[in-house]
A and B are shown apart, each in its own frame.
Chain A
Amino acid sequence: AQTVTQSQPEMSVQEAETVTLSCTYDTSESDYYLFWYKQPPSRQMILVIRQEAYKQQNATENRFSVNFQKAAKSFSLKISDSQLGDAAMYFCAYSSSGTYKYIFGTGTRLKVLA
């Protein structure tokens, strides 16, 4: 069975600094997707970034980038130039291509210090 592990329940970062959130996963599939979702306090869950497993190039979205290590089954999220609005719960998620199922990690709460 597939699993997703986020080993950092909480992280803090100073405003304007860089922080990296860790995520590891386990699967025997070769074709899958990985996601980072952001859930601000009392607000809607939104997609931050996604990575297709067949792509070797790491995905980037403005200040957000991932370090995708397929062999190591690692998928970390780097947030550069952290802003107060980045404070939220961040969930790593996995989905096999063509299936219904999404596996979410337990989340990392990110605090941004002014």
Chain B
Amino acid sequence: EADIYQTPRYLVIGTGKKITLECSQTMGHDKMYWYQQDPGMELHLIHYSYGVNSTEKGDLSSESTVSRIRTEHFPLTLESARPSHTSQYLCASTPSRQETQYFGPGTRLLVL
């Protein structure tokens, strides 16, 4: 069982603010992912990482950026939040030789 943590769980901010959503996992998983999910809807991959210093954009165009300086940490940053960024953001990780994804609890973001 993987432990993945996301902070904050809920965030309400104004347009134009810079925000960073945190994601950490304690299991030493190599692969990490960020998904965007509107309530009750499908997941869209926005970023992923194979390991330290390896990041790629996913299928859904996103104005966010990510970094992977440490194995356990995969933060997502929005330089200038807009109302269209309002959504839920899910972080996930996978061990390098296993296919099951483990998900964090998510961050619900509301941009006013």
Contacts and interface: CB of A to CB of B under 8 A. Distances in A.
Given A44-B106, A47-B100, A91 B43 contact: yes
A109 interface: yes
B41 A106 contact: yes
A110 to B, nearest CB: 12
B45 A107 contact: no
Give the interface size bracket for B toward A. Answer: 20 to 34
A101 B45 contact: yes
Given A44-B105, A44-B106, A100-B48, A107 B42 contact: yes
B98 to A, nearest CB: 9
Interface of B: 31, 33, 40-43, 45, 48, 50, 56, 90, 92, 99-106
Interface of A: 33, 35, 37, 43-47, 50, 89, 91, 93, 95, 97, 100-102, 104-107, 109
The 5 closest A-B pairs by CB, nearest first: A45-B103, A33-B99, A106-B42, A104-B43, A44-B105
